[in-house]
Amino acid sequence: MPRKQLSGCQKRKKRKRDEELRKSQAGAMLKFLQKQPQGANVVEEHVHGKVDEHNVHANVDANVEENVVGANVKEDDVVANVEKDVVGANVKEDDVDVAVNEIDIFDPRNWGGLKSNMINVLVEEGPKRDLTIDKGPKNKSGRRFSATLYTRTLANKETCDRSWLVYSKELDKVFCFCCKLFRKGVSKGQLDNEGYGDWKHVTSRLKEHETGFEHLKNMTTWYEMRQRLKANKTGVQAANEQFKK
């Protein structure tokens, strides 16, 4: 019959084997436990990598959006500036309209203190006549203005319109449109200043005035300025059409 209990030698051998096995297992567990943090670090680095990549993409997207927004802002600024210019032009035109409404620029009594923008309008439009007035009121000697003074008879019997001549019903006087607007220095007659109302000598006075050097020079200034304003206006209209296209 075999013995049920181990001998002392066998017990010592068994304890030795158990001790070696325990040590070997302890080493294996240690190695296993050392690998876990490394795996965790790898996972953590992977997570941080994803986060950094996400941040990079976010920054890139933000920069792209900022650039796009900046481009839009610049484009809006351009449109705003253009609209501002257009609005500014409209405001100037409105100012002229308001000024025309407040001051009758076609009344010869107001031609002495007009602003440049009002003069431009007046030059383009020319003087306005009240064609309903055929004759003015009679003075003490029974003489009066007549609409026939608007027409000049040349030496060859041809007739032409005195476009520069304007009659003021309120003052009962006639004026030279271009000389009153463009006269420089001291006035040389009543036609370019307070008006002429001597109906007895008005015919000879008009003939003398319209052949004078100062009158011809002022007529040239009027015509040239009117052509220049019309040319500039046409150029502005063409530019506006091109801008709209």
What's residue 114's pLDDT?
A: 77
**Pairing between β-strand 165-168 and β-strand 173-176 as defined by DSSP bridges:** antiparallel
> Which mean pLDDT values do the consecutive 10-residue runs of the chain (245 residues) have?
69 83 66 50 47 49 48 47 47 46 78 82 89 92 94 91 93 92 80 92 94 93 91 71 65
* Sequence ranges of the domains in the chain: 103-244
User: What single-letter amino acid sits at 100?
Assistant: V
Length of the chain counted residue by residue: 245
* Alpha helix ranges (H) inside 103-176: 116-125
Residue 181 to residue 163: CA distance in whole angstroms: 14
pTM of the shown model: 0.53
| Close Cβ partners of 42 (under 8 Å, ≥ 6 residues apart) | none
Q: Are 104 and 164 in contact (CB under 8 A)?
A: no
Give Cα 134 distance to the centre of its chain.
47
CA-wise closest residue to 160 among 210, 229, 197: 210
What's residue 142's pLDDT?
A: 93
